[in-house]
Structure 1
Amino acid sequence: MSGDDAASEKKREIDAVDEPFTQTKRQLKKQKKSHAAALTNNKPNMSFDLNNINKRNNRYGIHDIRDLVLHLAADGQKKNWMNVSHHSNIQHTVVLMVPGITSESLGIDKPSLSSAHPFSLSPRLDDAASNLIPVINKLYSHALPVRAPGDSQRLYSPAQHILNSPIPPPEKARQQKAAQEKAGVNLPNPAKLSPPVFLIDIDQMRDNAYPMPSWLGPDVKALPEYPLPLNDGVHDSDDLDKLSDEERTKVQDDGWLETPKLDVYPRLNNPRVYGLDCEMVMTDQGSQLARVTLIDYASSNKVLDELVKPEGNVVDYLSKYSGLTKEILDQAELSHKEAQDKFADFITPSTILIGHSLESDFKALKLRHPWVIDTALVYEHPRRMPFKPSLKWLMKKWCDREIQNGTDGHDPEEDAKSCLELLSKKIQYGRNFGSLPNEMESIFTRVARVKQSHLNSASNEQNKTGACVDYGNPGQFHGMKAKTSISCKNDDEIIDGVIETAQTHDLVYGRLTELQVALGWSNSPNDNGKEGEDKDKESQSNGNSVQSAPIESAYAALNRRIERLHEALPPNTALVIISPHSDPRPSLHLNQRRLAFQEAYKNANADVSKIDPDKIFMRDDDEKLLHEAEIAKTGMTFFCIK
């Protein structure tokens, strides 16, 4: 074989090896080209389905908009009120919350309060100049009237309803199975629940600002292991008379009562468990201990109930909550140190204390103790963390019993026994008792479970992604489950963040607030709750924060921002703009009057003659409140695909 023939043969061998890779590259290139053509030729589109809309006799809710967004961006079901053609070709979905867009600002007539029918955005011919947001009319032909969430008297957060959705049944079943499997872990065999099972951990103590024993420094990652009972009838004793001086809970040099650490904790069938409740008064040195109560879990007997002389001068007895008055507290004989010593007589290194948000009681008592069952943490608030349920609500919900109903303040014995009763319910009915079913999840969690379907992604196996662009720190709150969260200080930064993330994320949420601030509907989200003159000075001095602007200027700025956003969005991006409600101020003012009257009525022991006539809330006022609240819930939503 000649040299040329050998070279040709070698080339054929190399080509044969490379052929599969070459074909794959050609196929991918062809697929991408075909996909690009499909995106161009089969452009997605949205149109209202009037046949189904006309069957409704009330407006759609924010949750309906959320469900449509999940259909556009994730795996949500098709909605019968919106036709979406070439749905799979929608590449990105942007949801922009913009309170303050009203029919007046668009130069159109007010839609009906009850109608669900989309209304035209064509300005009135005789008043076209009143259209303050012309880009809306340019991008959208119609708007869908929506109803903001709320009860008969109040508005609820629209953002909470758009950003959280029901967990789909298959995912809920998976979570329930995982929870059942987890619940069986770490339990003794046979599994018998006992108080130690419900101890809060070191992270919960730190997150809720519990005073920590000095031996639990910031570098300590976990509490010592608290042995669960074996139910074999054999256990060590934690009798106080057998404790050495080093093992006793005692007052330290800094004035704090601290429980020491044991090298080995005894395994106890019946560990000491006490319900604890403290009452405080306000002094010129701040909040201070005025009463301490302990209830024994095993017997339900009150073992300690002492009034304590505050170290400072009392400026407010907080009688509404503490139940204490000057006459009662004048009977106190114990100093704070003496009260601590009496309390310590009941505490061993293994004692478990149970109460409701006990961090406040620990601080008042000046106590550092590691073993805590906090009913505000082992039971759940309906809105989940960081919200905590009140003890009054827990007792009504799970024990069907009313507490804290008197006008003379809280009864510490009643509160402590209530916490013990809630613990007993957990032990009797299991870990999941009092755990509200987790029916909702972040829409960003929902999106992240869905695989990308469009071929121009790096890999078809990648999951979809979400981004949250908002004021404050969305990454710690409603944007926690988003792949990307961007914190902003003004609406221009919001638009910048939405444009940036919309290029690479499947779902993007942003919120513009400067219009509603200019309208006086709300304070700037940068104000951090500051009031009055200080707030105004800060707003004026901070050039990067939201500032109150003339209303016309605010509308003009919004118009520019929406134009800039739409121009910068990638093709085949759905842009959903939600103006969730109308002016909330009339209903807010009436609600404040209603609450003030209720407080005055309670303080007057239901004697209306003792109430200032200007504070009386009449039946006509109540009817007006219902009407104004319904008007406040009137909003609108706009849909288009670039």
Structure 2
Amino acid sequence: MGSDRKRKLSLGDTVGEEARSQGLGSIEALPYMQDNTKDSSNINASKKRKRVDGEKAKYPDLTYSDGKLQSPIRIADLQGLLLYCFADGIAPQWISLKHSGHVRKVVVLMVPGLEMGMFDGTISVDKAAVNGKQELPENPTPEAVEKSTEDERATDYNRWKQGLPIPDRSHRFNPQPLVRENLPETLQPLADMFPHIWPIKAPGDNKYNKVHSPLQAILMSAAPKSKNEESRGKGARPAKIEKGFVPKRTPITTFVTSRVDLRENEYILHPAFFTSDDERSSEAEARRRGAHSSEDGWVDTLVPSLESAEPPEADIEKGSMTAGRDVFALDCEMCVTEGGQSELTRISMVGWDGEVVLDELVKPPRPVVNYLTRYSGITAEMLEPVKTTLADIQKRLLAILTPRAILVGHSLNSDLNALKLVHPFIVDTSIIYPHPRGPPLKCSLKWLTQKYLGKQIQNGMEGHDSIEDARAVLELVKLKCEKGERWGTSDVSNESIFRRLSRSIRPNHVPCPGGERTGAVVDWGNPERGFGAQATVSIGCLDDDAVVNGVSAVINGDESDHSIPAGGVDFAWARIRDLEHLRGWCNRLPDPNNANESTTLVPPPEETTPTTINGELTDKLQPDILADTVSKTVSNISRIYDSLPACTLFMVYSGTGDPREVSRLQSVHKKHREEFNSGKPWDQLTYKWTDVEEQKLKKACERAREGCGFMCIK
């Protein structure tokens, strides 16, 4: 397939050369030539553009051959095109770019709210139809999209049964030509800038029904592997210290898990979290239903309130990582007893200094059916003489775990379930060292230890050593306290796109020869707190007009702003959000009255508030408002295009499709889990979650990952 694609691209280049030899310019103009939408003045303009700044130059050409793509391009492919122009990226296979070294600037604009349906008539944004009071089609509901897909599959199946060929729909991954006369009036200016609209798939995880960040997909880059790393075997690569990373000594109290995160990670909440009698009684009833009450053998540590854990100022040493608290690392081993219960067989606890505080074997009350020796290291012979019970261990723990005590562990909720113990102050290494792909995935303790401590644990043939595991957890927590909150929170095999570009040197024929590549972020709020932290320039805005002006300033340079390099930056990423907010795709926008706050909750206009029909989200947009906002958004894209210098690669992408149904279903799933974990009977659950809802979520995620985009060389 790769060779076929290369052959088609080379054919496209050949056709492009023929077109240019006849004075037709780049092949990207051919769709318009076929529709007679380009005249001789445009042809002459294509000749003139060979001169840049009054001098002859090799002008970059972005061309697409009419081969069939087997899948939509990804946002990561847009990043690959950027790295091919400005860094050490390889040539893309889905598009051809001639004279890539002569691309002077790259601007990537994210426009959430744009959808493919606006271009094929599924979503009406036609101002002429609105002004003429014509009947407008409603925006498609999730059921309509699903029914269309099912009808398509049914048609294919019936043709297959009759021995007829199945229609080839692979063209749906191909970019579609933008012809001005075929577009709604509000979208027609896009055809003057871009030759095609591309289906672009957002990142996500089909297994866990997740849609990943479209910002990270383009602003975080996979770091090139060194020769030593390429020759490594399996296992985690050692963590790399980012350039410019400054360790910040942080007290352990910063990493104590919040009430919300404890609930999200299936911990039983301690009564100290609840201040009112109603809350306490409601939680107590939920624990009784879930068999987590004292009648079921559970105990709560003696912590009367969260405030009781605060030590006097005199007891806190300056710069102390423990902040006057007693820290204990805990690890347990379990076995399986009759009835399939997981019960405690060993508990190990070490103090902050790594010394063993408690290490006991425990006799389960029920007969053991599986000692899990491969994992626990426990055998029947080891437990035979043991008399210690779970109740004995609980008494000892209640004496050790004072209000000042902090328990640390890895996925500690399973250990506390085996101990039937509830404590409010928890530090969980599976939370403070999150999985690179996000929840619900969690890194194993063995992987974290290898990556961040450079140690191998759990290598014995006789199972885990709970003391070894507890000490490994303690070392990970100490390392986190030494390095600060940012340490271990992202996959260190990735790096900021701005750092990646900074290792690349401008060629001599590009203005401002020599020196590192520079980059900028222009976004709503305070982008310097996020992805813009690594950029050369970061500009926060309060509206789309400010974003448009900011892009022009960072690309062309601004003598009044000394933070912008002379001549402007090489690469800029920006986002305009009016359309996204109008359609209810987000409800967090900057607060113009508070410069220190990046976002605040702002409800959408009343006439655009999303509503539900049969439990599904749909738009309640006034057509004229949607058309006006789309028109303004397209105008802002045009303004950015007009401000760009020659030889600029301009890419626009929507990020995702409509994410609201995903958010709604995920919220239902979360509330269902909370009810279910509280022990409420199934027939009394307010929020149901069956395979029907699971399949709806899966399909909603697939739809939400369907974005669109445009690209051109100015």
Q: TM exceeds 0.5?
A: yes
Paired with 1:434 and 1:489, the residues of 2 have a C-alpha distance of 32
CA RMSD of aligned residues (A): 5.3
Match of 1:640, SS?
strand
Q: Does 1:629 align with 2:701?
A: yes
Paired with 2:97 and 2:212, the residues of 1 have a C-alpha distance of 29
Taking a change above 3 Å as real, the CA distance of residues 171 and 74 of structure 1, as seen in their structure-2 partners, is farther
Q: Give the counterpart of 1:609 among 664, 675, 683.
A: 683
Write the letter of the residue equivalent to 1:155. Answer: V
Taking a change above 3 Å as real, the CA distance of residues 205 and 641 of structure 1, as seen in their structure-2 partners, is same
Paired with 1:491 and 1:69, the residues of 2 have a C-alpha distance of 24
Paired with 1:207 and 1:496, the residues of 2 have a C-alpha distance of 43
Q: Does 1:204 align with 2:250?
A: yes
Q: Give the counterpart of 1:167 among 200, 207, 223.
A: 223
Paired with 1:204 and 1:482, the residues of 2 have a C-alpha distance of 26
Q: CA deviation at 1:161?
A: 0.8
Write the letter of the residue equivalent to 1:617. Answer: W
Quick check: 1:74–1:447 contact (8 Å CA) kept in 2?
A: yes
- In the TM superposition, 1:425-444 aligns within 5 A as 438-444=492-498
Taking a change above 3 Å as real, the CA distance of residues 62 and 374 of structure 1, as seen in their structure-2 partners, is same
Q: Does 1:423 align with 2:474?
A: yes
Describe the superposition over 1:467-508 as per-residue Cα deviations: whole angstroms up to 9, x where unpaired.
Answer: 111122222220111111111111111111111111211111
Write the letter of the residue equivalent to 1:588. Answer: S
Look up the match of 1:48.
Answer: 64
Q: Give the counterpart of 2:179 among 122, 137, 141.
A: 122
Paired with 1:123 and 1:182, the residues of 2 have a C-alpha distance of 50
Look up the match of 1:238.
Answer: none
Match of 2:697, SS?
helix
Look up the match of 2:105.
Answer: 92
- Aligned-residue identity in percent: 22
Quick check: 2:181–2:188 contact (8 Å CA) kept in 1?
A: no
Question: Any gaps of 5 or more consecutive residues in structure 2?
Answer: 1-49, 124-148, 150-168, 257-307, 320-324, 331-347, 361-390, 396-400, 411-422, 451-465, 557-567, 592-597, 607-621
Q: CA deviation at 1:602?
A: 2.7
Describe the superposition over 1:575-605 as per-residue Cα deviations: whole angstroms up to 9, x where unpaired.
Answer: 1001122211122222222332233333336
Structure with larger Rg: 1
Paired with 1:426 and 1:256, the residues of 2 have a C-alpha distance of 23
Describe the superposition over 1:255-279 as per-residue Cα deviations: whole angstroms up to 9, x where unpaired.
Answer: 44615589xxxxxxxxx995169xx
- In the TM superposition, 1:571-586 aligns within 5 A as 571-586=646-661
Quick check: 2:590–2:600 contact (8 Å CA) kept in 1?
A: no
Look up the match of 2:577.
Answer: 513
Look up the match of 1:594.
Answer: 669
Q: Give the counterpart of 2:356 among 299, 302, 307.
A: 299
Taking a change above 3 Å as real, the CA distance of residues 171 and 143 of structure 1, as seen in their structure-2 partners, is farther
Write the letter of the residue equivalent to 1:61. Answer: R
Match of 1:623, SS?
helix
Give the TM-score of the pair, scaled to structure 1. 0.56
Taking a change above 3 Å as real, the CA distance of residues 417 and 568 of structure 1, as seen in their structure-2 partners, is same
Taking a change above 3 Å as real, the CA distance of residues 590 and 88 of structure 1, as seen in their structure-2 partners, is same
Q: Does 1:155 align with 2:211?
A: yes
Q: CA deviation at 1:356?
A: 6.7
- In the TM superposition, 1:459-538 aligns within 5 A as 459-460=513-514, 462-503=515-556, 504-526=568-590, 530-531=600-601
Q: Give the counterpart of 1:105 among 118, 127, 145.
A: 118
Q: Does 1:568 align with 2:581?
A: no
Taking a change above 3 Å as real, the CA distance of residues 207 and 495 of structure 1, as seen in their structure-2 partners, is farther
Match of 2:533, SS?
coil
Paired with 1:589 and 1:478, the residues of 2 have a C-alpha distance of 27
Paired with 1:581 and 1:107, the residues of 2 have a C-alpha distance of 17
Q: CA deviation at 1:376?
A: 4.8
Paired with 1:496 and 1:578, the residues of 2 have a C-alpha distance of 19
Taking a change above 3 Å as real, the CA distance of residues 584 and 590 of structure 1, as seen in their structure-2 partners, is same
Match of 2:328, SS?
strand
Write the letter of the residue equivalent to 1:120. Answer: P
Write the letter of the residue equivalent to 1:147. Answer: K
Paired with 1:170 and 1:393, the residues of 2 have a C-alpha distance of 24
Taking a change above 3 Å as real, the CA distance of residues 113 and 498 of structure 1, as seen in their structure-2 partners, is farther
Q: CA deviation at 1:463?
A: 1.1
Match of 2:250, SS?
helix
Quick check: 1:98–1:513 contact (8 Å CA) kept in 2?
A: yes
Taking a change above 3 Å as real, the CA distance of residues 38 and 443 of structure 1, as seen in their structure-2 partners, is farther
Q: CA deviation at 1:525?
A: 2.4
Taking a change above 3 Å as real, the CA distance of residues 46 and 592 of structure 1, as seen in their structure-2 partners, is same
Write the letter of the residue equivalent to 1:205. Answer: P
Q: CA deviation at 1:453?
A: 0.6
Paired with 1:590 and 1:557, the residues of 2 have a C-alpha distance of 32
Q: Give the counterpart of 1:64 among 77, 83, 86.
A: 77
Describe the superposition over 1:107-127 as per-residue Cα deviations: whole angstroms up to 9, x where unpaired.
Answer: 5579979932111222674xx
Give the TM-score of the pair, scaled to structure 2. 0.51
Taking a change above 3 Å as real, the CA distance of residues 113 and 382 of structure 1, as seen in their structure-2 partners, is farther
Match of 1:480, SS?
helix
Quick check: 1:95–1:509 contact (8 Å CA) kept in 2?
A: yes
Look up the match of 2:382.
Answer: none
Taking a change above 3 Å as real, the CA distance of residues 628 and 426 of structure 1, as seen in their structure-2 partners, is closer
Quick check: 2:62–2:95 contact (8 Å CA) kept in 1?
A: yes
Q: CA deviation at 1:37?
A: 7.9
Quick check: 2:198–2:709 contact (8 Å CA) kept in 1?
A: yes
Q: CA deviation at 1:631?
A: 1.2
Paired with 2:407 and 2:251, the residues of 1 have a C-alpha distance of 13
Taking a change above 3 Å as real, the CA distance of residues 603 and 171 of structure 1, as seen in their structure-2 partners, is same
